[in-house]
Chain A
């Protein structure tokens, strides 16, 4: 164990100190090693205020709230390490790229922008997301894409390259949720149970087939038509470009389409008529 242990991590947890920042052109590089999330995120905002367009965060390990609430279409954040909980929450425009895994609650209520994770992402990914793109390379956890929504021109899209657990797209209200099942460590089916339970808007595409036990009773299951694929293909092109994957291989398996059968599945739940 001695040889794999990292003795440089402080036994008191993160240190509440300013992180070292190096500036080169419009890129600011911040060493996040052992830095508390508050000081880290303040340094990110300060770098943008000082005119930086791209912020590179080195040695990230579990710091929360990276990229939260930041507005700006041309801003970039590069995360090297394990991104902490609630990354890109309420984010409005920037692109966040994670070279590593992301923990739980990524892109909660995200408004606009792009999140690219070159690894796995945890539970409750894209909760209530209402715009932008989320592209995950590998597996995702439970309750992914629950209550995603869309409004006029704001239509979110999420593509997960691995497998997903239960409650994928639960209570989905809008947008597009895609599951590929390709880059996975999970054994068993490509998605768990309660897929699209309570769904009342938007569309879910799954690469391959789903069985009746996997889906909620509020969704209809169809083979994706040529028209559907025309809608899906541009999103997959973006995904493949971001993740360095082969579009032809992604498209080599037929997709299943899930859409809600009702706009108000529980409209009469509490109505005693």
Chain B
């Protein structure tokens, strides 16, 4: 087909859904913002940051996650659900009823938006794990929730869990992010941490459940890039009870963070080094004890390493972290104004929110950029600054024998 610029000008990629006859310029866009003082910011901040990166997506996916948005239900697990039809809702609610006490169930508040006409049924639930079942299973409330999520996503036809954390929620779908935000009435929510995404699907179809962020418990991931190690990552995760059912590579990153941070209690910075491992030649130049640590980390978490180009932002209750692949194959810019840390694919997104930041910089590849809300429990058992022995315990997975050495969060 000859390249006809006038045809491209009126071209709406959404008409073609899974395959486009044109090359459209793009590459996903992402943002994350965290006020480390814990002050809440309205959703319009996240909308502005992504609206200005409109051309990085193609209307096949947009989404957000906010933290601190449900203060009146802060201790409940909030499930944002997507249903293909009423039957799917009934089947999923039956599963939820088996696992949880349902304190509130309601349709997600939405508004009609031009261009968004294929939305699934969207519901949210505020849940408490059933105490009897929890004790019988002898597992943590979080493990209990993970099982419920995997069960619904894996076995209930037409039902998907969009998010399952406390005092947080994901708002995502097929459309440009500013349209999706308008649809979900995002400006009515306030959060201390927002992550957002503008999707340009490359390898997998654009569908509501496949939009970013991908979440599990408190973790939410937005991602620009391709995880070419998806196969080995998902097989590795299956051994720990995670089932990858959403058809998008980014899903593995959310589960890997849950595995390493929550279950293996790895410090955040070390988990980032497992995902974006330093090259062997870089390890060779490190001091000896650091070499030993990173060699064991690569050995233990080899199947968890993310191969391929990526920029990701991980949001959680307590802050966020932004991370690039180790040779920076996707863009990422960071800025700080006072207590607010912001990251985005383009500097313009930062300046659309804060025109004159105190500082703007380009994070180094493979080095996490971290924001931590003061006064909030760090959700990770352990600290960023563990002793070497605690670190090696974490890496070798012997946390029980060295439990007394683990540094508790103050």
| Max chain A C-beta neighbours (<10 A), residue from B282, B328, B352, B364 | B352
Interface string of A10-22 (1 = CB under 8 A from B): 1111100000000
Tell me if A69 is interfacial: C-beta within 8 Å of chain B: no
Tell me if B45 is interfacial: C-beta within 8 Å of chain A: yes
Which of A4, A6, A14 is within 8 Å of B54, CB to CB? Answer: A14
Complex CA–CA separation, A85 to B328 (angstroms): 16
Tell me if B409 is interfacial: C-beta within 8 Å of chain A: no
Tell me if A185 is interfacial: C-beta within 8 Å of chain B: yes
Residue of A nearest to B326 (CB): A166
Q: How far is the CB of B342 from chain A (nearest CB, A)?
A: 10
> When the two chains form their complex, are residues B346 and A166 in contact, meaning their CB atoms are under 8 A apart?
no
Which residues from A are CB-within-8-Å of B365? 142, 165-166
> When the two chains form their complex, are residues B348 and A62 in contact, meaning their CB atoms are under 8 A apart?
yes
Q: Which one of B236-244, B313-321, B353-361 contacts A?
A: B353-361
> When the two chains form their complex, are residues A1 and B355 in contact, meaning their CB atoms are under 8 A apart?
no
> When the two chains form their complex, are residues B327 and A14 in contact, meaning their CB atoms are under 8 A apart?
no
> When the two chains form their complex, are residues B347 and A103 in contact, meaning their CB atoms are under 8 A apart?
yes
Which residues from A are CB-within-8-Å of B352? 6, 9, 61-62
Main secondary structure of the interface of B (DSSP, over half): mixed
Residue of B nearest to A143 (CB): B328
> When the two chains form their complex, are residues B178 and A166 in contact, meaning their CB atoms are under 8 A apart?
no
Residue of B nearest to A211 (CB): B285
Complex CA–CA separation, A63 to B181 (angstroms): 23
Which of B47, B328, B337 is within 8 Å of A166, CB to CB? Answer: B328
> When the two chains form their complex, are residues A5 and B353 in contact, meaning their CB atoms are under 8 A apart?
yes
> When the two chains form their complex, are residues B362 and A213 in contact, meaning their CB atoms are under 8 A apart?
no
Complex CA–CA separation, A62 to B351 (angstroms): 9
Tell me if A123 is interfacial: C-beta within 8 Å of chain B: yes
Complex CA–CA separation, A9 to B281 (angstroms): 45
> When the two chains form their complex, are residues B354 and A5 in contact, meaning their CB atoms are under 8 A apart?
yes
Which residues from B are CB-within-8-Å of A10? 48, 51
Which of B55, B178, B327 is within 8 Å of A64, CB to CB? Answer: B55
Which residues from A are CB-within-8-Å of B282? 193
Which residues from B are CB-within-8-Å of A218? none
Known: A12-B178, A103-B347, A185-B361. A1 touches B45 (CB 8 A): yes
> When the two chains form their complex, are residues B346 and A141 in contact, meaning their CB atoms are under 8 A apart?
no
Q: Which of B8-66 contact A (CB under 8 A)?
A: 35, 39, 41, 44-45, 47-48, 51-55
> When the two chains form their complex, are residues A9 and B48 in contact, meaning their CB atoms are under 8 A apart?
yes
Q: Which of A123-169 contact B (CB under 8 A)?
A: 123, 139, 141-142, 165-167
Complex CA–CA separation, A82 to B357 (angstroms): 13
Residue of B nearest to A185 (CB): B361
Tell me if B340 is interfacial: C-beta within 8 Å of chain A: yes
Interface string of A62-81 (1 = CB under 8 A from B): 11100000000000000001
Known: A4-B338, A5-B354, A120-B362. A11 touches B331 (CB 8 A): no
Residue of A nearest to B344 (CB): A62
Q: How far is the CB of A33 from chain B (nearest CB, A)?
A: 11
Q: How far is the CB of B121 from chain A (nearest CB, A)?
A: 26
Tell me if B349 is interfacial: C-beta within 8 Å of chain A: yes
> When the two chains form their complex, are residues A62 and B52 in contact, meaning their CB atoms are under 8 A apart?
yes
Q: Which of A1-46 contact B (CB under 8 A)?
A: 1, 4-6, 9-14
B-side interface size class: 35 or more
Interface residue tally for chain A (C-beta within 8 Å): 34
Which of A5, A84, A142, A186 is within 8 Å of B45, CB to CB? Answer: A5
Known: A4-B338, A4-B354, A103-B346. A11 touches B178 (CB 8 A): yes
Complex CA–CA separation, A213 to B340 (angstroms): 37
Known: A122-B362, A141-B362, A142-B328. A1 touches B178 (CB 8 A): no
Complex CA–CA separation, A11 to B352 (angstroms): 10
Which of B281, B328, B349, B359 is within 8 Å of A62, CB to CB? Answer: B349
Complex CA–CA separation, A203 to B158 (angstroms): 60
Which of B54, B346, B359, B364 is within 8 Å of A165, CB to CB? Answer: B364
Complex CA–CA separation, A185 to B362 (angstroms): 9
Complex CA–CA separation, A156 to B285 (angstroms): 35
Tell me if A101 is interfacial: C-beta within 8 Å of chain B: yes
> When the two chains form their complex, are residues A1 and B39 in contact, meaning their CB atoms are under 8 A apart?
yes
Known: A62-B347, A82-B348, A103-B346. A4 touches B337 (CB 8 A): yes
Q: How far is the CB of B171 from chain A (nearest CB, A)?
A: 15
Residue of A nearest to B330 (CB): A123
Q: Which of B172-188 contact A (CB under 8 A)?
A: 178, 181-182, 187
Which residues from B are CB-within-8-Å of A193? 281-282
> When the two chains form their complex, are residues A6 and B354 in contact, meaning their CB atoms are under 8 A apart?
yes
Complex CA–CA separation, A166 to B329 (angstroms): 11
> When the two chains form their complex, are residues A103 and B348 in contact, meaning their CB atoms are under 8 A apart?
yes
Complex CA–CA separation, A13 to B365 (angstroms): 29
Which residues from B are CB-within-8-Å of A167? 327
Q: How far is the CB of B329 from chain A (nearest CB, A)?
A: 8
Q: Which of A232-259 contact B (CB under 8 A)?
A: none
Sample 11 A-B pairs with CB under 8 A, ordered by A number: A1-B340, A4-B340, A4-B354, A9-B52, A13-B51, A14-B52, A62-B53, A63-B348, A142-B328, A142-B365, A166-B327
The 6 A-B pairs of least Cβ separation, nearest first, read: A62-B348, A13-B51, A13-B54, A142-B328, A9-B352, A61-B348
Q: With contacts A10-B51, A62-B52 known, what are 16 further pairs, Cβ within 8 A?
A: A4-B338, A5-B353, A6-B353, A6-B354, A9-B353, A10-B48, A13-B51, A62-B53, A63-B348, A64-B55, A82-B348, A84-B348, A122-B333, A123-B362, A139-B362, A213-B285
